[in-house]
Amino acid sequence: MEKNEEKPVLKRNAFNILNNKNENITFIDLSNQHFTNLNNNLILPIHLCEINLSHNSLTRVPQSIMDLTNIRKLDLSYNNIEAFDDVPSFCHIIEDLDLSNNNIHSPPYWVWAASPKKLVKLNMSNNTNLKDEYLFEFLQHKPLVKEVIIHNCRINKDYKLIATFVNAKSIQLGNSYTLCKANAFYDIPFKGLIECINLEKLNVQNTFINSVTAKIGVFEKLIEIDLSCNKIDALPKEFCTLKNLEVCLLSFNQLLYLPEEILQLQKLKVLSLNNNELCMLPNNWSNMKNLKSLDLYDNFLCDLPEINNYDEIDLAQNYFEEPENYVYIEKQKKIRLKYSEQRYCGRKKEVVKEEWDHTPNLTDDELQWNENENNETYQNRPSSTSSEDWEAEDWWVPHMTAKSRTSPQSPWVMFIQKKINEGHFCPIDLHKEPIDKVSQPKVFRTVSGQFDDYSDDDN
């Protein structure tokens, strides 16, 4: 709480603060007070710049707050607010608006329609009831907000609101913990996000991403990207066209390799690849001169990379002996300070398959036959359809013979058979009279004259 040094220190959250009308008060904390509303006649300090109303039970924004003219930061998080559509008096003054963890059905309309000139940060995260059907009027406006936080709202790649943040420099669509209400996009960039070409920072961790498409190259201004905790198994070469990228977080994915073009990211300073499935690094990896932090913990690497170029590095849990010198250990400590989970040291234990680890129903000869069957140069046994083949010398030479097996039944055939057994389908073959004749009987007409009757003759 800011106040004139000549004034006595006032009790936190006490309402005598408000009644004294201290014009020098710029910040008030009214959090955790179980408020359901504020008195509309309540007069707040005219120079109030920041107010914290988080962790209450507000269902709407109080009118006494709406009438304030100098609010730069408003924290309404952890309430039960459903809507905030009316334009407040501080519309073009506010810089930071936090509406996270509420019950909002649609975003604050005034942020789009009135385009607050100074609004930098908008937090709408953890609002799981955001609806797409309310957004038609929103799509006509492009808010000026620079930083958007909208993780854990159960939105997907078809959520159209994302496309309106064309002026945003930073968008956070995911966070470090997984919840059932997490956003789900599957592909990156998706349709709405691809409009935000001015992004410098993008966070999509824990958003169920399976693939990074070639369109990722549209984010030419991107400096930091967080793709960690997803299911990405490869990066397109277009990812390596992000020339301004300095921080790249790809932890906890399923990457098997990195494209050779990644060496083009010469501005890259931080690269996190821990907990992937990397078997090798690109050639000339040491050419990334600006890379100072490299995390390769828990991969499948067999070759020890150079460690002298880095300020921070972790190489534990790979298929090589981890360095034990003092310099490496100090570098490893620096990188591990960033993580709360426990990490192990040393070499990863190799999982060796049993020598006879195959289907027990197949003999060694049958396994060899299956292998040869896929080889185009393998000569099959001569046909036995002709007696001339029996007289050939090759016929009596021992050959590998595959064990005859019935080909698996089609799932569709199995489905039909199941329905027939349940009595839902009636097979055509069980009709005493063909079903096509029952459904489309022949028309017999009486005609005059003498002629032979061949109506039942199939010819």
Res 321: pLDDT: 93
- CA-to-CA distance for 357 and 38, rounded, in angstroms? 71
Phi, psi of 18 (to 5 degrees): -70, -35
Q: Please, what is the Cα angle at 94 between 182 and 78, to 5 degrees?
A: 40
**Residue ranges in the chain whose pLDDT is less than 70:** 1-23, 132-134, 178, 352-459
pLDDT value of position 8: 41
The 10s digit of each residue's pLDDT in 301-331 is: 999 888 888 999 999 999 999 999 999 999 9
Rounded-to-integer distance, Cα 288 and Cα 258, Å: 14
Give the predicted TM-score (pTM) of the model.
0.72
Q: Domains (ranges, CATH) in the chain?
A: 7-169 (3.80.10.10), 210-338 (3.80.10.10)
**Of 7, 16, 3, 83, nearest in space to 49 by CA:** 3
Q: How far, in Å, CA of 40 to CA of 28, rounded?
A: 17
Residue 136: per-residue pLDDT: 78
Q: What is the pLDDT, as a whole number, of residue 180?
A: 79
Which parts of 42-153 fold into alpha helices (H)?
A: 63-66, 109-113
Reduced to 3 states (helix: H, G, I; strand: E, B; else coil), residue 171 is strand
pLDDT score, position 358: 52
DSSP code per residue over 291-345:
--EEE--S----SPPP-TT-SEEE--SSSSPPP-SHHHHHHHHHHHTT--S----
No. of helices (H) and no. of strands (E), the chain = 8, 15
CA distance 53 to 75: 6
